[in-house]
Structure 1
Amino acid sequence: MAKNRFQDGPGPSQRQLRVGELIRRTLSDVLARGDVHDPDLNRLSITVGEVRTSPDLKIATAYVLPLGGKGQDDVLGLLARNKGELRRVIGKKLSLKFSPDLRFQLDRTFDRLDETRAMFEQDAVRRDLDE
């Protein structure tokens, strides 16, 4: 069974959490203002839900979702295409010693929330909760 590096061990350090949140805010601002020189990317409204960093802070994985959830594959492609420019902007604005390599994944949080709600609506689960 494969291990999930984000769930094993003591969890992310305070530094990882702080840097991840700084990157999330900066990336959100850059995407909202359209600071990237790609008109295709600037046309989209993208939510950055979370950024997780590796322990050495050299890799930052941003969990993103386009507004309305449409065009998810296009968003990942556009972000990957502009990864270098986004990395430079983040490094410049945050004054980090090393600008992390950016990776992008779809934010599945809302999907999991819907699944959890559906699970709580099942009769067997409701019966157990009422007891």
Structure 2
Amino acid sequence: MSDKSEGALLGAIHHVALIVSDYDRSRAFYHELLGLPIIAETLRAERQSWKLDLALPGGGQLELFSFPAPPPRPSSPEACGLRHLAFRVGALEPVIEHLEQHGVAVEPVRVDALTGRRFTFFADPDGLPLELYETPAC
């Protein structure tokens, strides 16, 4: 490999994997509330674990895993590791309204100082920060 910029080695993100504390609650949140279609759902009995593959628009996937008594992950203050997952939306208001109608707290809308785009945060059932990032052309 040369030092010349011949393109990235990596393509788009294939999947993001989350370990959840309550499989049924997280399945309902991501599939029913957020509307992500199920690709596959597998019981891995030898590991006492479920694996749920959900489709993301654009071809990526979100994988949910359950394990008996997973340890909590620190998220605040800014812990090292995954900071948040961001989902592109065409308009914030309809998504915010949908979430709030289902009892999900959404932070006030902010504007990205670097891009001028609007965004907001909410949390999944385990407190993982999720971002809605407005890109009107999506």
Q: Please state which band the TM-score falls in when normalised by the shorter chain.
A: under 0.3
* TM-score, normalisation: structure 2: 0.27
Higher fraction of strand: 2
Q: Which has the larger radius of gyration?
A: 1
Alignment TM-score, normalising by the size of structure 1: 0.28
